Amino acid sequence: MVLERIELFLLDMDGTFYLGDSLLPGALDFVETVRNQKKRFLFLTNNSSKDNKQYVAKLRRLGVNVELDDVFTSGEATAIFTKQRYGSARVFIIGTQSLVQTFEDHGHTVTKTDPQVVILGYDTQINYEKLSLGCLFIRKGLDYIATHPDINCPSPEGPLPDAGSFIALIEKSTGRKPDFVVGKPNPLMLQMIVQKTGVRPEHIAMVGDRLYTDMEFANRSGILSILVLSGETDSQDLEKVERKPDIVLQNIGELALLLKR
C-alpha cells in the first residue's frame, strides 16, 4: 500500500484535525497511531495571525500533546524566506503582534521608517494606519510579500476576510499584486520542511480539506495528496476538479484505521 512509504504526514488544522474548538473524529487515534508506528506529523497552516506557541497551546487544550517543532505556519515560512532572500531585513508588517514577534525572532527589524520589504499576513488587528503606510510603501516599489493567499478564514459564524481579501484591497489601491506568496500552495514550504525534517518528498504526504491550497500544494510539490471531507470540500466539489487527490477519506480517523490495517 502506498501509505507504507509515508514517514511524515503534513496536517492541515482547521477542517482536517479540528473544527473551531472541537477535534474531528479520530484525530487523537491518528496521533497515537502515527507515533506508535514511529512515523511523524507536522501541523502545517496558512493562518499567519497566530504563531507556534498559540497553536501548541490550543492543541494541548484539546488534549493533543505537541511541541513547538510540531507546528509550521506560513508566517514562520515567510520569515525564513525573507532571510534567505534578503538576509536580516528591515520589514514593514501588516500583520498581528505574533507575526511581528516571529520576524524579530528570525533576526529581522520591524520598522515603519525606511523598510526594504512589505510583509502582509492575516492581520486580525488591522487598522487604517497599517493599511495606508503599507500601500504607500508598495506604491513606491518596495518588494511585497504575502504569507498566504486564502481569501476567507473559516469561523463558526461563517467565512471571515483573510489575507487574500487584503491582497485584493491593496491591488485595488496600488495596482500591485504580491511579488511572492509563500504559504500553501507554493511548494517553497515543502523545501523548507525537507530541510527542517530531513525527510525526502517521496516519504511525505499532505492531509487537508481544501482543494486549492492543501491538495494543490501536494500536486505542485509532488507529494502524496490525502483529502478529508470533514471540512470545506464535499463530494460535489471533488467531481468538478480535473486532478483528483490520491486518497479521499471522510475524516482523519479513517486514515488512522488505514494505517493500522
Q: Which is nearer to Mg ion, 115 or 121 (CB)?
A: 121
- Position among 6, 7, 14, 170 found at the interface with Mg ion (CB under 5 A): 14
CB 6 within 8 A of CB 202: no
Q: Which is nearer to Mg ion, 135 or 163 (CB)?
A: 163
d(CA 252, CA 61): 19
The per-residue DSSP string of 81-136 comes to HHHHHHSS-EEEEES-HHHHHHHHHTT-EE-SSS-SEEEE---TT--HHHHHHHHH
> Which of 118, 125, 120 is CA-nearest to residue 97?
125
CB of 174 to Mg ion, least distance (A): 30
Residues numbered 219 to 238 that lie near Mg ion (CB under 5 A) are 231
Distances (CA, A) of 238 to 51, 190, 211, 227, 257: 31, 24, 8, 10, 23
150 near Mg ion, judged by CB under 5 A = no
Q: Choose the binding region for Mg ion from 89-97, 122-130, 193-201, 209-217 (rule: CB under 5 A).
A: 209-217
Q: Which is nearer to Mg ion, 75 or 231 (CB)?
A: 231
CB of 20 to Mg ion, least distance (A): 12
Q: Which is nearer to Mg ion, 15 or 245 (CB)?
A: 15
Residue number of the CB atom closest to Mg ion = 15
**Residues in CB range of 155: below 8 A, 6 or more apart:** 20
Residues numbered 79 to 138 that lie near Mg ion (CB under 5 A) are none
> Which of 104, 56, 41, 57 is CA-nearest to residue 76?
104
Q: Which is nearer to Mg ion, 23 or 89 (CB)?
A: 23
CB of 52 to Mg ion, least distance (A): 18
- Position among 7, 12, 123, 216 found at the interface with Mg ion (CB under 5 A): 12
CB of 208 to Mg ion, least distance (A): 6
d(CA 89, CA 115): 8
**Residues in CB range of 53: below 8 A, 6 or more apart:** 68, 98
Q: Which is nearer to Mg ion, 42 or 93 (CB)?
A: 42
- Position among 7, 150, 162, 209 found at the interface with Mg ion (CB under 5 A): 209
**Count of C-beta atoms within a 10 Å radius of residue 78:** 31
Q: Which is nearer to Mg ion, 209 or 254 (CB)?
A: 209
216 near Mg ion, judged by CB under 5 A = no
Chain-centroid distance of CA 210 in Å reads 11
Q: Choose the binding region for Mg ion from 15-23, 75-83, 134-142, 245-253 (rule: CB under 5 A).
A: 15-23
d(CA 41, CA 259): 13
In the complex, which residues of this chain contact Mg ion (CB under 5 A)? 12, 14-15, 209, 231
